[in-house]
Structures are given as C-alpha cells and as structure tokens.
Amino acid sequence: MHNPRKSYIYALLAIFFWATIPTAFKTALSAAPVLPILTISSVVSALVLLLIVFVTGKSAELLATKPRDLINSALLGLINPFVYYLILLRAYQLLPAQVAQPLNMIWPIVLVFLSVPLLGQKIRAGSFAALFISFAGVYLISSQGAPLHPGKSNPLGIALAMGSSVFWALYFILNVRDRRDQAVKLFVNFLFASGYLLIATAVTGSPLITIGIKGVAASVYIGIFEMGLTFYLWLKAMELAESNDKIGNLVYLTPFIALVFIHFIVKEPVYYTTPAGLGLIIAGIVYQNRKK
C-alpha cells in the first residue's frame, strides 16, 4: 500500500545518513588504514543485513540459497564492497572529501556505456552529450577552486575516485540480473566480502585490533549507515512511494547536504567549483535519463 508521507520520511532519513558518509570516511581515515576500516565496516554491515533478513521474514529465502547463487554472491562480493570500497577509500585518502565524493557520482553515465558490451544495448547520441556535461563538472571539481590553473588535485586520487564508479556500475548491472530478494543477496554478498577482507587483513598484517576507538567507531558507523540500515530505509521509501521517480530524484540532494557536514565537521573550505561541478554532473545524469 502506498504511503507518500512515510515514503518521504524514509527517503529523507536515508539521504541524511548517506550525506554524513564522506565525513565518516575522513574521520575513519584520520585514525586508521583503509583495510581495517573496510573490514570492520563490512562485517558490521553483514550483521545489520542479517538482522534485516530476519526482521522482514526473509530467513526462508536465505536458507533456500542455491549453489549457483553462492557463486554469484562470491563474485558480487568481490566487486562490492571489496574492490569498490578499497579504491574509493584510497581516493578519500588522497583527495578532499568534497572532491572524492562527487567524482564517484558519474557512475550512472558509466553505466550507460558498460551496458553496450554487457547488455547489448545501443548508445543514444544524447549519451555522449551527457558524458561531456558530466566531465565538465568533473573538471571543475578537480580544479579545487582554480579552473584556469588545473593540477591542484592529486592525479592518482582523481583516477581512483572516477575509477570506482566503473566498479559500482559493473556491480549494479550484475546485481540487477540477480533475482533474489535484495536483503538476502546483499547479506550473502557482504558475507563473502567480509571473508575476503578478513583474509586480506591477516595476510597483510593490518592492525585490526589496534586502530583505536575513533577508527572503530567511525568504521562501525560506516557499516551501519553507508552499507546496512540505510539500504533498508531506501528500499522502504521506494516501496511506499506513489512515484519512484519523485523519490529517486531526492538522492541528488545528498552531495549538497554532504558539503555542509564536510565544511563544519571536517573543516574543509568549500570551493565554489564544487557545487558548480556537482550541478553539471547531475545535469548530465538527468539529461541521460530524460524520457524520449
């Protein structure tokens, strides 16, 4: 049954939590290396998703998981959160949060181009215009307030932030093909990813136990509000919405709200090129998704 009021409440809560994540990333990275942060976050997220599976009565579907589904989850968990977040968090290490976060937002444009070899879809001419608009936004954001004098940002960080969008778009395509319940398949994905990360932590000798209270707290927060609970809130918002388009468009508020937290908590001065570039990236995405 549709309930627009509850739908907007769930959506705005999800957007609020997602907007705090760049700040949480920076807070965690100021106290711990990438691998321990991601390992703790992934394990916490898996536990939250398992709780959601039981609370929503999906435990029977979980127990009915087939070997083919396990193989699929093993691959999806390798892509996200394992590879995707390793790349993204490294980008956050090298870049200001206000630069790393919006550069990752180009994934809907990347998705269109990946759909050609993976889904056999054709690219419309407008997709190239959308790509140009979004990359103009990328250039502005990367300039960090000096569009006429580029080169201020870390080139590796820029490449990683944009490269992470490729893995997210790939994950999105493969995830859509998986017809299992969202909470069930995400839990199994994160279960495999947690296994990969625990092995990687053991092999590399990363200090999982000694990263400090600040690092652990921020990692737990990321696990709950970036990967776990917020996912459920967003699904509920879409389920109760009269129009998914109206709710879906609200997500574009996230990077702008995130700038407020980044400025006042991380203490980053917000360059004028950041909101301007964000506007161009979102304009490119909206143009790409416009109805014929």
Q: Rounded to whole angstroms, how far apart are CA atoms 112 and 89?
A: 24
Closest CA to 52 of 172, 190, 187: 187
Residue 262, pLDDT score: 96
Render pLDDT for 117-130 as a digit per residue (tens, 0 to 9). 877 777 777 888 88
Closest CA to 42 of 181, 230, 224, 202: 224
Q: Rounded to whole angstroms, how far apart are CA atoms 109 and 124?
A: 12
Q: Say how many domains are in the chain.
A: 1
Does residue 86 lie in a domain region? yes
Cis peptide before 117 (omega within 30 of 0): no
According to the per-residue pLDDT averaged within each range, which of 40-44, 183-187, 234-238 is highest? 40-44
CA distances, 145 to each of 75, 233, 273 (Å): 40, 35, 5
Does residue 235 lie in a domain region? no
Does residue 181 lie in a domain region? yes
Does residue 240 lie in a domain region? no
Render pLDDT for 169-224 as a digit per residue (tens, 0 to 9). 999 888 888 888 888 999 999 999 999 999 999 898 776 666 889 999 999 999 99
Task: Find the domain containing 278 and state its range.
Answer: 33-216+271-288
Amino acid at 50: L
Render pLDDT for 258-283 as a digit per residue (tens, 0 to 9). 999 999 999 999 999 999 999 999 99
Instruction: Write down the pTM of the prediction.
Output: 0.91
Q: Rounded to whole angstroms, how far apart are CA atoms 77 and 71?
A: 10
Helix, coil or strand: residue 104: helix
Does residue 237 lie in a domain region? no
Does residue 82 lie in a domain region? yes
DSSP character string of 130-168 = HHHHHHHHHHHHHTTT-TTS---S-HHHHHHHHHHHHHH
Does residue 231 lie in a domain region? no
Number of residues in the chain: 292
Helix, coil or strand: residue 291: coil
Does residue 4 lie in a domain region? no
Q: Say what angle helices 84-94 and 155-177 make with each other, to 10 degrees.
A: 160
Residue 240, pLDDT score: 87
Q: Where are the alpha helices (DSSP H) in 30-83?
A: 34-55, 59-63, 67-77
